[in-house]
Amino acid sequence: MKINMQRADKNYKDLKQKQKSVIADKTYSMYSDFSLLQVTLPEVHHMVSPGKKWG
């Protein structure tokens, strides 16, 4: 039996609350890690593509 799995890109407002919570937790963790290492908050030139670590 072959299962057809397709990825459907969704807007943030269309996500479930649990999915939004996971995104918020990961975002907070990345900002926290960055600010502890760099002693500053990230700005636009610090941003990287999704899925990559801070550079």
Cα distance between residue 16 and residue 55, in whole Å = 30
Cα distance between residue 20 and residue 25, in whole Å = 9
Per-residue pLDDT, 17: 93
Per-residue pLDDT, 9: 79
Please, which pLDDT band fits residue 48 given cuts at 50, 70 and 90? low
Q: CA 54 → CA 8, 32, 38, distances in Å?
A: 27, 11, 10
Per-residue pLDDT, 33: 84
Cα distance between residue 37 and residue 35, in whole Å = 6
pLDDT tens for 4-47 read 555 667 888 888 999 999 999 998 898 888 777 877 666 776 66
